[in-house]
Amino acid sequence: MKEYGIKKKVLDRIVPSAAEEGKIMGTVEELRTRISGELKRAGVEAKVMLVGSIAKGTYLKNSLDIDLFVLFRPDYPKEEMKEHTLKIGKRVLQEWKIQYAEHPYIRGMYNGYTVDIVPCYSVKHPSRKMSAVDRTPFHTEYIKRNLENRNEVRLLKQFLKGIGCYGAEIKVQGFSGYLAELLVIKYGSFDGVLENSGGWKGKVVLSLTGEEEGVFTEDFVFVDPVDPSRNVAAALSPERLKFFVLAAEEYLREPRLEFFFPREVIPWPLDMIRERVENFVGIYMPRPDVVDDILYSQVRKASRSMEEMYRNHGFHPIEAAYHVNDDDILIFVNLREKEIPEKKVHMGPPEGEQGHAEAFVSRWEGDGSVIIPPYKKDGRWWVEIKREFVDARSLLEHKIDELNLGKNLNELKDRVMILEDGELVNKKNTAFWTAHLSKKNPWER
């Protein structure tokens, strides 16, 4: 009964009222009429189709993005298709901006809603797709035909949002809306998905049709029912999957509203955070004006590069992490210690491996970093050398120019600030540091 009461409270907050649904569908029809009129005036033969969660009836009350696809004949020139769509979008939408996926589309505002107008080809079967977006209308139709209870999907989507696992974009690397819908179709309900997730161990391949084309390299696979060569879960990271399974287990053990609507992080005092940030070294840099998918891909690359650099120089990274806000980016490593011994004992080959032993001795002979030349001990060769860097901050200061942070971040290296410990904490990022240091899951705040 407790779980039923929680679900009812969640649905009361996320299911649109009849009036809200009427308003959004009225806006959709208005947009469809205007876009169709613009196409007709331009002498272009194409049809307008509503796709995505609004078309499928799985959208959340406070997540009302309208996705409209303009479907052209397969023989229509690609450049003209893009040109007509963007031109129409500029006429119809306010505050528009060109976005880029496999090809350009336009995003803007209309009647208070965010609207995407996307060009694609009207193909007869997904296997004949000319670009990835040509599959989307088939996804929409499949869900409309096969999903019985839309509110079960809404519960799963809100649960995923609450635990930070909703969205296939690179920033999140979580569950897409389409994946959530397919999971509910497969397992029948929100509870069914959570209960079955406990069995997702090792290599998991889920399917609704039994069809499967090609070999999937990912450990977690949901075969696309409209295109069996595609893994719907390809963008889902192992970390997000593992976290979802943990959250599902915790929720089933003790259902709470906080899984769906976690409390806001209450920041610790600035001085308290600074006291706890020990053996951290990192950089602050301005946020470049690039789309999130490009930005987060480069930030992750930069984080990995920094961690690898410290490991290669004899430090012991405990973790590498980052934080992105509207103005700047923080990338840092937490080290076991910021200062390491100047002397490093380097292990060589066994004494009996003559060729390798000779190469080892030759390699270190005359090397300026050698403190004690190659010697034998306990059946192996050893050499003791002087480390180039023993201080973590100094290493980063000297090697920052060699770090590959990604194209757009590399261009901002002259504006990087190298900081350590409490210097990495400021008033803007206290909520981030509080969440990071407390290690509390969203539902535990």
Classified as helix, coil or strand, 285 is strand
Q: What is the pLDDT of residues 200-248, one digit of tens each?
A: 999 999 999 887 767 899 999 999 999 998 999 999 999 999 999 999 9
The pLDDT, as a whole number, for residue 1 is: 54
The pLDDT, as a whole number, for residue 121 is: 92
* 432/335 same-domain check: yes
Q: What is the pLDDT of residues 355-370, one digit of tens each?
A: 999 899 999 888 888 9
* 288/432 same-domain check: yes
pLDDT at 380 over 90: yes
Angle between helices 18-41 and 78-92 (to 10 degrees): 130
Q: Domain holding 23: CATH number?
A: 3.30.460.10
* 176/276 same-domain check: no
Q: What is the pLDDT of residues 399-409, one digit of tens each?
A: 999 998 999 99
CA distances for 326 relative to 161, 170, 329, 428, 433, angstroms: 21, 17, 9, 10, 16
* 291/430 same-domain check: yes
Sheet strand arrangement including 220-224:
204-206, 220-224, 227-231
Q: What is the pLDDT of residues 408-440, one digit of tens each?
A: 999 999 999 999 999 999 999 999 999 999 999
- Name the pLDDT band for 320 (thresholds 50, 70, 90): very high
Asked whether residue 129 is assigned to any structural domain, the reply reads: yes
Tokens encoding 174: 């979580």
- Name the pLDDT band for 2 (thresholds 50, 70, 90): low
Domain span at residue 34 reads: 9-136
Overall average pLDDT of the 24-39 stretch: 95
Longest CA–CA span in the chain (Å) reads 87
Burial class (CB in 10 A: 0-12, 13-18, 19+), 368: exposed
The whole model's pTM is what? 0.90
Q: What is the pLDDT of residues 170-190, one digit of tens each?
A: 999 999 999 999 999 999 999
Instruction: Rounding to the nearest 10 degrees, give the CA dihedral for residues 70, 73, 74, 80.
Output: -70
Strands 220-224 and 204-206: parallel
Q: What is the pLDDT of residues 134-144, one digit of tens each?
A: 899 999 999 99
CA distances for 282 relative to 309, 315, 322, 327, 386, angstroms: 12, 14, 9, 17, 25
* 281/351 same-domain check: no
pLDDT at 4 over 80: no
* 28/109 same-domain check: yes
Strand partners, 85: none
Count the Cβ atoms, other than its own, within 10 Å of residue 210.
Answer: 8
The span from the CA of 442 to the CA of 419, in Å, is 28
The pLDDT, as a whole number, for residue 215 is: 81
- Name the pLDDT band for 305 (thresholds 50, 70, 90): very high
Strands 113-121 and 104-110: antiparallel
* 418/292 same-domain check: yes
In contact, 401 and 394? CB cutoff 8 Å: no
Overall average pLDDT of the 294-313 stretch: 95
- Name the pLDDT band for 302 (thresholds 50, 70, 90): very high
For the chain, the domain total comes to 4
* 118/155 same-domain check: no
Q: Domain holding 437: CATH number?
A: 3.30.70.590
DSSP state string for 419-441? EEGGGG--GGGHHHHHHHHH---
The span from the CA of 90 to the CA of 98, in Å, is 9
